[in-house]
Structure 1
Amino acid sequence: MSAARMLTGDRPTGRLHLGHYVGSIANRVRLHQRYDSFFIIADLHMLTTRNTREDIERATDNAREMVTDVLAAGVEPDRATFYLQSAIPEVGDLNTLLQNLVTVPRLERVPSIKEMARDAGKDEVPYGLLGYPVLQAADILCVRAQVVPVGKDNAAHVEVTREIARRFNHLYGEVFPVPELVPAETPTLVGTDGRAKMSKSRGNAIGLADDAATVRRKVRGMYTDPNRVRADVPGTVEGNPVFAYHDVFNPDRARVAELKERYRAGRVGDVAVKEELADAINRFLDPIRERRARVEADPGLVDRLIVEGTERTRAEVRSTLVEVRRAMGLTAVYQRVRRRAERTRRAAATPS
């Protein structure tokens, strides 16, 4: 392994949105030029909360859309390795070996596990969801990534990976780099409903693939100050999703400051503030739309990237697994048994 590596990715559960962009994609776009970058299509992780036949069948189209979104966001196809997690069974082998290096109480302390179960409508945490951080550790360590850009939800998962890597290296020798977490400048983005983070499942998201009219419609319906019944009533800026989005997506800082001042004084209405926000988001999305059009103009590009990336990644994971088994001494166990069996066979075949 020569160049330093980055591992990041998403579950193929639907199109990506602005929350994904600020949470991790912006970092991916920035970092992928500096690192040998692996982008996982985490369909095995998807099974922890979505595992019907219909969910699995939809994963094919969702995977293609996800890769298209990432390329449209600015990741260059010749600087990224996209791969399908379920097509690399050796990741499961590594997961089996790593799961004995972490305890159940430690996994139960990961805050997002119960949240993920609740969001999926599950009363109890499935075994696979409890072990989600261990499989994620296998994902990261199987390509020996040194950098992992993640959103707030996955920060605790990466810390589990760091602990597992250190424990493995202590027990068996230096095999894995201890990956560094790269946090986002904006950890989370509240949804358009103002009640929770932006999420595909909650229907409160603005998608990276949304057209200008859809963005404008969603922004017009955004939650704002509920106590403001008229434009001349002073409004609250703090905690107001409309202004939170202005802070992130409107580069005209002076104009945003002016809008906040006028809003607090009751000198601008919600409609006007939302119209300016819709304009700002559409300006932000316009370059993404242009790149998307170029990606979609080559109908075979995304499938080709996934297949070639999966083949390359599987070769890397096989190499890692050989080193892991050798470091643990597992390879020698079978070799010793085989040598004894061969000696016994030869002895039986030798005339007395």
Structure 2
Amino acid sequence: MKERVLTGDRVTGKLHLGHYAGSLQNRVQLQDQYESFVFLADVQALTTHFDRPEMVRSHARDIVLDYLAAGIDPDKTTIYVQSLIPEIAELTLYFSMFVTVNMLRHNPTVKAESRNSSLDELYYGFLGYPVSQAADIAFCKATLVPVGEDQLPHLELARKIVRRFNELYRPVLVEPKALVSETPRLVGTDGSSKMSKSLGNTITLDASTKEIAYKIQKAKTDPARVRKHDPGHPEICPIYAYHRAFLPASSPEIREGCERGAMGCTACKERITAALELLIAPMRERRAYYAERPRLVDGIVMDGTQRTRALARDTMQEVRDAMSLNAFG
């Protein structure tokens, strides 16, 4: 049997090139090798957007369209909605009985995201979402979870939770393994450490030709490079980071030309603009196809959710039996 891979995205807005470089293109490749599941994490989106549920609803379809546009094949990958699998919430509750608050507080990813969030207090749902994340993985018995280096603490916590459950009750859940992505996080067009919807420094996967050109034209480059022939420092330039991500074969040439001052920023931007247009144009076309067929999209999501729900019921029956929650049959 194929190993089962699980990935997902919080429903907080359209996906962008950072998502594509960091995970989407990898998912397209993995779906040919593994049994793949991808989910819309609408419940987890509420950990930071609980006061804006209408925003979560409005972006759900955008993300499905982005999946399909990027090449996620519904015949190979099961797409489902987190909130429509109530067994995840049930398993989260059972896990929370033996996960300590200190374990959650000391999670470095929670610490970092707490500092970066705009929340005025640390809410229960935000602190506990690694427990929910563990349930996301465990309910479908995912064996592999693609993660970046910054997400490894979350996955290790999920592994500990599953291990503890199996020790306390009966070994019915699968301890997941990490598929660590070696793709570096894509910097934002403003030079920030990452592309982020909240910072407005992204290029979406449905960006028009004009939008791509405008975003790249306005993007920051090496601040120390004043004149065209000044030696550049490509390691601090967002545009060079895009060359490495999307034109890897020619990136050494770009680096060498920049460092010698032989290639100006304008020429460098023109080359990556053309490359991004070649990448995004087919996505725009596929996205438009599905956007014009909302019933087809609904069918894809609901079929995937129904298949996942059947799997969830089977797992939770095993969980309840292991926990002796079956006194009345």
After TM superposition, the score normalised by the length of structure 2 is: 0.94
- 2:252 alignment partner AA: A
Letter in 2 for 1:134: V
Separation in structure 1 between the aligned mates of residue 176 and residue 25 of structure 2, nearest angstrom: 19
Q: SS of the counterpart of 2:75? A: helix
Stretch moving more, 146-155 or 233-242 = 146-155
Structure 1 counterpart of 2:282, from 282, 287, 303: 287
TM-score by length of 1: 0.88
1:45-64 alignment runs, 5 A limit: 45-52=44-51, 55-64=52-61
What residue is the counterpart of 2:209 in the other structure?
A: 212
- The percentage of aligned residue pairs carrying the same residue is 47
Match of residue 14 from structure 1: 13
**Letter aligned with residue 25 of structure 2:** A
Equivalent in the alignment of 2:237: 240
Q: CA deviation at 1:3?
A: 4.4
**1:94–1:138 Cα contact (<8 Å) kept:** yes
Unaligned runs of 5+ in 1: 336-352
| Greater mean deviation of Cα atoms: 146-155 or 267-276 | 146-155
In structure 1, what is the equivalent of residue 70 of structure 2? Answer: 73
The Cα of 1:46 is off from its aligned counterpart by: 0.6
CA contact (8 A) 1:37 1:79 kept: yes
Structure 2 CA distance, aligned partners of 1:261 and 1:93?
56
Report the alpha carbon displacement of residue 136 of structure 1 after superposing the two structures with TM: 0.5
Residue range with higher mean Cα deviation, 41-50 or 117-126 = 117-126
CA distance, structure 1, for counterparts of residue 45 and residue 79 of structure 2: 17
The separation in 2 between residues aligned to 1:187 and 1:103, in whole angstroms, is: 32
SS state of the match for residue 38, structure 1?
A: strand
Q: Which has the larger radius of gyration?
A: 1
Q: Runs (4+) of structure 1 moved beyond 4 Å? A: none
Give me the whole-angstrom Cα distance separating, in 1, the residues matched to 2:150 and 2:303.
Answer: 30
Corresponding pairs, count = 329
Match of 1:265 in 2: 260
Displacement of 1:239 in angstroms is 2.1
> Structure 2 matches for 1:1-352, cutoff 5 A?
3-52=2-51, 55-253=52-250, 256-332=251-327, 334=328
Contact 1:263 1:269 in 2 (8 A): yes
CA distance in 1, matches of 2:263, 2:78: 48
Mapped contact 2:148–2:182 kept (Cα < 8 A): no
CA contact (8 A) 2:6 2:144 kept: yes
Does the 8 Å CA contact 1:23/1:152 hold for their aligned counterparts?
no
How much is the aligned-residue C-alpha RMSD, in angstroms? Answer: 1.7
The offset of 1:303, in angstroms, is 1.1
- The SS at the match of 1:78 is coil
